Amino acid sequence: MGMFKRLYSIILLLFLVKSFAFSQTDSLRLNLNTPVYQTYDSAGLARRAAYRDSMQAIRDSLSVVWVKTPDPDRANPFLDSLISLYKVENLDFSAWAARFPKNDSHNKYGVVRPKGETWIIAVILFLVIFFSIVRFFFPAEMNSIIMAFYSNQILTRINKEDSLFNSWPFVFFYLLFGLIIGLYLYLSGKYMQLSYPFDGFELFLFLSALVIGLFTFKIIVLRVLGFLFDVKRLVREYVSVLYLSYFNAAILFLPVVIAFSLTSSRYAGIYSYIGIVMVLGIFVVQFLRAGANILSNYKFPKVYLIIYLCALEFCPLIILFKVLGY
């Protein structure tokens, strides 16, 4: 009897659990079957209405561009030009092909890039090697030449000895001066596009010989004047200053000439002006040193000094520039 009571209690418990499970409602099914009411935002409606109105205004403004539909049979100049160019008249393909000649040249056209002359590099190397050899074999003489241009004491010692200007180093320095100044004049003439009867290496040799010959002639004239007016000592001192000026000019012009020949042509004007400034500076220093020495030791009318400057200082430079066409 107790067993039936327990079985009855279990069946009743299962029935209650089943009834409770079926009493739960599916939320998904409820959401699908329940109508959803959307709440409209008045501000959002106003924005969408304004957007539709603006699109309508843009569409209307574009629609009035064409007053009426263009004629499809209107003339088309671009298309007509293509037809006239490529149309074969009367099936004459030979005449049509003649209008399009074949270009047999495969080289592109352009402006030739200016290039330097090869022999200039060889001359630069020769000048550098020549200067190095002189510096190696005659270091004392070169130091004396450089220091005497700035020191009156060393200049006085050189004038007393008078051996430097009668030796081989003097010849080498003088030759180096002529070659360097000649190359500078050649490069300046190329930059100014001056024309001469000959060109290239021959013109360089001519300019170098002209520089050496002109300054040698000036020294000879000074020696003759010193002999005629019995001022040999004065002329010897002044000629020593001239030699030192020439040799120092060669040393200073060597890097300028190297840069002049190796850099682009658009910088050539800068080196030309640098050379002119250096020449003027050396001339002023030479004149001040020699003039101060001469005026302090010798008394003579100043008009003689002016005549000398015009005849033997300015005149050779003017003749040189006129001959070269600068």
CA distance 314 to 84: 73
In contact, 316 and 210? CB cutoff 8 Å: no
Task: Provide the pLDDT for residue 21.
Answer: 52
Task: Provide the pLDDT for residue 30.
Answer: 46
Residue count (the chain) = 326
Task: Provide the pLDDT for residue 152.
Answer: 74
Task: Provide the pLDDT for residue 269.
Answer: 82
CA distance 203 to 207: 6
Going from the C-alpha of 131 to that of each of 150, 169, 198, 280, the distances in angstroms are 21, 11, 28, 24
pTM value surpassing 0.75:
no
Task: Provide the pLDDT for residue 217.
Answer: 87
In contact, 136 and 129? CB cutoff 8 Å: no
Task: Provide the pLDDT for residue 175.
Answer: 92
Q: DSSP string covering 111-124, please?
A: PPPP---HHHHHHH
At 167-217, the pLDDT tens digits run 788 889 889 999 999 999 898 888 887 777 888 899 899 989 988 998 888
Question: Low-confidence residues of the chain, pLDDT below 70?
Answer: 1-8, 12-44, 46, 50-70, 103-114, 161-166, 290-302, 305, 309, 320-321, 323-326
At 304-325, the pLDDT tens digits run 767 776 777 777 777 766 766 6
